Structure 1
């Protein structure tokens, strides 16, 4: 494991997914249910910022694992030459964290606590929200959707589609010698790997689609036209939980895949 790019990335993914569950789940559930931010201005900035950072690290790590698996399976000899030094994967992991910290920095500087009327019969309740305009907030969320959902989804789908085609068409795994007595086992193993790869892309697409869709509907004013606020609150809670489901299920999927992948 010390010399494996994939396993080191899996450790990084596990850390990011654990941070998603630890930092996002408790405060977000309370926030969605009560529609009140109880944790003050400092945590409004830092906690929400690191929530975004942990999600970004998870998404970028998933994307890098897909690209790494693509080169390992489709171009095995080139992959081995490029990834022998351990410094390579350490640099990639550091780069992922730096990009995640910088990419989400607008949240750190823009978020603050404000008092505003909500749907309950109470005078005011506290919310954690950005100080910039609604249009700027919409642009920021569109950027997040493009770079943290659409682009990674295209890369994941493309890389794993090419991997599946490579595994399906060949009689043996790339880079391995031809052994007739193990061809059937390799074929069964190949199909299992293909199913796991499909599961990765499908779960990522399904789990992150609701929260991004809801954000677009909220910031474009579509949700304001709905008269049933209970439905909106329920949708927000479900969409956030779906993101945490993805972080919780990643270890299960990659546990099966890592045991069979080259």
Structure 2
């Protein structure tokens, strides 16, 4: 038995007005530009000035990098994929979009958790030695490794197939066993 989840591709149907489609693409464009500019400024300011390189700010740089990944890879193609009734993008994007979105979400969540744990330790145990930059770097690298490993099955099992009910090409998760999907959340 095959467990399959379809990426929604019919957000903008042909019945919707051109004005709505233009508005959605414009809003996506504005969000992408603001994300690129804002996150780049955060990264440059923190990395440029040594006094800004606290442990919390290094974690914030990691959040900004994760947001940049989402803005550069996933966000531009989401409205394109949703605009058409069928999948029109290359196979590699079918695999990459789901994987990138998943990694970005996991990195953001785990980094926010790391910030919370760091703040907890600083407040509750103020006399313990503070986290060093090398330890923060190790935690960030571990966050990316864990996020990548968790989302790797998404890239492996994402496929372009034909939906027989609608006779359209779709990008979908195609799992070999019914229980497999549960491992990636």
Quickly name the TM-score band, shorter chain normalised: 0.5 to 0.7
Distance 1:133 1:87, change over 3 A: same
Unaligned runs of 5+ residues in structure 2 are: 1-50
Higher helix content, 1 or 2: 1
Of the two, which has the highest radius of gyration? Answer: 1
Cα distance, 1:21 vs structure 2? 2.6
- Say if 1:130 and 1:137, in contact at 8 Å, map to a contact too: no
1:98 equivalent in alignment to 2:145: yes
Structure 1: runs of 5+ lacking an equivalent:
145-262
TM-score computed with the length of structure 2 as normaliser: 0.64
Residue 10 of structure 1 pairs with residue 60 of structure 2 = yes
Q: Where in structure 2 are the equivalents of 1:55-94 lying within 5 Å? A: 55-78=105-128, 81-83=129-131, 85-94=132-141
Distance 1:134 1:30 in 2: 30
Aligned to 1:131, the other structure's residue is in SS state strand
- Contact (CA 8 Å) 1:111, 1:129: kept in 2 or not? yes
1:32 to 69, 75, 82: 82
Asked if the contact 2:110–2:143 (Cα under 8 Å) also holds between the matched residues in 1, the reply is: yes
Q: Hey, which bits of structure 1, 4+ residues long, moved more than 4 A?
A: none
> Which gives a bigger RCO, structure 1 or 2 (Cα 8 Å, sep 6+)?
2
Q: How many pairs were matched up?
A: 135
Aligned pair 1:113/2:160, yes or no? yes
* Cα offsets for 1:86-139 (capped at 9, x unmatched): 1110101000000011111101211110011466xxxx2221112215733652
Aligned to 2:69: 19
Which residue of 2 is the match for residue 135 of structure 1? 178
Say what the alpha-carbon RMSD is for the aligned residues. Answer: 2.2
User: What residue in structure 2 maps to residue 126 of structure 1?
Assistant: 169
